[in-house]
Structure 1
Amino acid sequence: MPLWAIHHTPGFFTDEDKRDLAARITDHYERAGLPRFYVVVIFDEIRSENLYVGGEPTSVGLRVVIDHIARHAPDKQRRNGIAHWIKSILQPYLEGKDNLHWEFHVDETSEDLWMINGLIPPPMGSDAEKRWVAQNAVSAY
């Protein structure tokens, strides 16, 4: 499951921006073969006086924390590709923001420590996973 926790200062995103960004993120993972319901995007508005960079409050900031659990990049080249894809997804929302500080990172968490609705997700490429993708829902397997 990809989990995107997007921490941002007030006014950074409109409601339409949030829907669009969440859809773009989800579409990408679906194209990679994941069920849409694996993708969780959380927008967390942080008041400027509560977001510090280098010990100083940041008036315009974005910090994205991404957990990849369902899939892992096998090598540095693929990880770099993921980083560039993330930058390209975020780029349209960064333009026109003066004094912006932004960054992201991706953690790859063991899939052994993950459940959805009390079930361990099926193995990658299995018939059960294909059924989850087709149904876009958790089901016993």
Structure 2
Amino acid sequence: MPLWTVHHTPGIFTDEEKRQLASRIADHYEQVGLPRFYVVTLFHETRPEDFHVGGEPTSAGVRIAIDHIARSNPDRESRRRTATWIKGMLRPFLERHAGLHWEFHVDETSEDLWMINGIAPPPAGSDAERLWAASNATSPY
């Protein structure tokens, strides 16, 4: 389950850009075999007076926290590829904003502490996970 929590000041994303970014994020995870419904993207608009960088309010900022549970990166090189992919996906949406402060981080959490609709997701790469991906829904296994 990738959970992308996007905190941003007003005017950074249009509703259509939010939809496009969320769809691109889901596309990527689907391409690596995860069910699309594993991917949740939340946008939280934050007033500039409530968005501080270095102790000071910022008029244009984006801070993204990404939680990975379904998969983890086994080594430094794969973590670097993941960070590079994320940067590449975000740049088209963010570079057009002059003076924008933006950053992201990824946390990797134990899948043992994760359930969807009260069901522990099936093991990675299993027939049950492929069924979940094909049906884009949970089911007992």
Q: What interval of TM-score do these two structures reach, taking the shorter chain for normalisation?
A: over 0.9
Cα distance in structure 1, aligned partners of 2:96 and 2:118:
44
Q: How does 1:3-14 map to 2 (within 5 A)?
A: 3-14=3-14
Tell me how many residue pairs correspond in the alignment: 141
Runs of 4+ residues over 2 Å off in structure 1:
none
Cα distance in structure 1, aligned partners of 2:8 and 2:54:
16
Residue 63 in structure 1 maps to residue 63 in structure 2: yes
| Percent of aligned positions that are identical | 67
Could you say which residue in structure 1 is the equivalent of 2:136? 136
Q: 91-100 or 15-24: which moved more?
A: 91-100
Cα distance in structure 2, aligned partners of 1:68 and 1:46:
24
Cα distance in structure 1, aligned partners of 2:128 and 2:96:
45
Secondary structure in 2 aligned to 1:70? coil
Residue 119 in structure 1 maps to residue 119 in structure 2: yes
Secondary structure in 2 aligned to 1:121? coil
Secondary structure in 2 aligned to 1:90? helix
Cα distance in structure 2, aligned partners of 1:131 and 1:2:
19
Could you say which residue in structure 2 is the equivalent of 1:35? 35
Cα shift readout 1:35-56 (whole Å, capped 9, x = no counterpart): 0000000000000000000000
Structure 1 residues without counterparts, runs of 5 or longer: none
Could you say which residue in structure 1 is the equivalent of 2:46? 46
Secondary structure in 2 aligned to 1:105? strand
The structural deviation recorded for 1:33 is: 0.3
Q: How does 1:15-30 map to 2 (within 5 A)?
A: 15-30=15-30
Q: When the two structures are superposed, what TM-score results if normalisation uses the length of structure 1?
A: 0.99
The structural deviation recorded for 1:96 is: 2.2
Q: When the two structures are superposed, what TM-score results if normalisation uses the length of structure 2?
A: 0.99
Instruction: Let me know the Cα RMSD of the aligned residues.
Output: 0.5
Secondary structure in 1 aligned to 2:12? coil
Secondary structure in 2 aligned to 1:10? coil
Q: How does 1:52-91 map to 2 (within 5 A)?
A: 52-91=52-91
Could you say which residue in structure 1 is the equivalent of 2:98? 98
Cα distance in structure 2, aligned partners of 1:126 and 1:111:
15
